[in-house]
């Protein structure tokens, strides 16, 4: 069913903060979180930029009824949503800051519709999570690892959430952050979480990287359970105009656990 522009923006809980005369930053969240994950970072840019935030399909305040596993069986449908938001808001030359899978969504969107974007920041992002022995690519997982993850999610989703969340956050001295990720992850309907995780973890967009024409900042933390350090080096070697920065942080969510480091890195890039 087609929707009007205003309905689409409402459905994705789009928030626009600041004046249209300012340059725009679009913040795009990763799997298991929603736009609230950016609250530690976004205010640092509110004086000079208009800020746009939204929730991806299947997460946050987006109605679960709008999610279809058939429609969102690849990253391209999420890319289409991002481009729809840019179009409906009449955005041009924005800086896209994407965490995890949304970093890849930004790269793919910039290839498809480059006029919307001027720069991109990929935070803890990966073009492929599976190892590829044929090419020597290290993505971090074997297929058996992912099959076990899917099985654990399916057998007892909330038990899996309680174990996975602190490991992914990887700041044991700040258990509240792991609890927060567990909360937002637990708010996703289990069948949707399983479907989305399959779409993300089975994706492979390595071949798309050379087509990226925009300046890209790659920010990675240490000891990331989902994205080993080799992935950052691969992205940097594959994207023509990219800069790789490892910040003083651990885990997959440095914008939550080390926001000052992320803010400084983005500010220098901008």
Q: How far apart are CA 182 and CA 9, in angstroms?
A: 27
Give the dihedral sign, CA 13/21/90/116: negative
Give the dihedral sign, CA 244/249/251/257: negative
255 part of the active site: no
Catalytic residue among 124, 197, 224, 255: 224
Catalytic residue among 12, 99, 252, 255: 252
Catalytic residue among 34, 99, 100, 203: 100
As a dihedral over the C-alpha atoms of residue 70, residue 78, residue 90, residue 114, rounded to 10 degrees, the angle is -120
224 part of the active site: yes
Query: Among residues 123, 81, 79, which one has the least CA distance to residue 99?
Result: 123
Within 8 A by CB and 6+ apart from 53, the residues are 14, 15, 17, 26, 27, 29, 35, 38, 42
Question: Taking a C-beta distance cutoff of 8 angstroms, is the pair 45, 25 a contact?
Answer: yes
Q: How far apart are CA 242 and CA 180, in angstroms?
A: 32
151 part of the active site: no
Q: Which residues are catalytic?
A: 100, 224, 252
């Amino acid at each position: 069913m087609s929707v009007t522009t205003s309905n689409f923006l409402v459905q994705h809980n789009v928030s626009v903060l600041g004046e249209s005369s300012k340059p725009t930053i679009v913040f795009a969240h990763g799997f298991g979180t929603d736009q609230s994950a950016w609250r530690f970072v976004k205010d640092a840019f509110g004086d000079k930029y208009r800020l746009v935030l939204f929730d991806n399909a299947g997460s946050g305040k987006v109605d679960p009824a709008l999610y279809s596993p058939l429609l969102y069986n690849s990253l391209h449908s999420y890319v289409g949503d991002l481009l729809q938001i840019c179009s409906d808001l009449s955005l041009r030359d924005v800086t896209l800051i994407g965490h995890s899978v949304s970093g890849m969504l930004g790269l793919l969107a910039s290839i498809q519709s480059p006029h919307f974007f001027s720069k991109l920041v990929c935070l803890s992002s990966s073009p492929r999570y599976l190892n590829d022995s044929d090419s020597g690519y290290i993505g971090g997982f074997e297929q058996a690892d992912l099959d076990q993850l899917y099985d654990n999610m399916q057998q007892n989703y909330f038990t899996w959430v309680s174990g996975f969340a602190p490991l992914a956050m990887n700041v044991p001295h700040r258990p509240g952050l792991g609890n927060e990720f567990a909360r937002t992850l637990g708010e996703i309907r289990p069948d949707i979480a399983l479907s989305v995780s399959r779409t993300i973890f089975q994706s492979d967009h390595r071949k798309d990287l050379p087509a990226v024409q925009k300046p890209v900042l790659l920010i990675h933390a240490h000891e990331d359970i989902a994205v080993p350090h080799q992935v950052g080096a691969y992205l940097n070697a594959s994207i023509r105009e990219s800069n790789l920065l490892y910040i003083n942080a651990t885990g997959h969510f440095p914008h939550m656990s080390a926001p000052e480091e992320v803010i400084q890195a983005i500010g220098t890039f901008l």
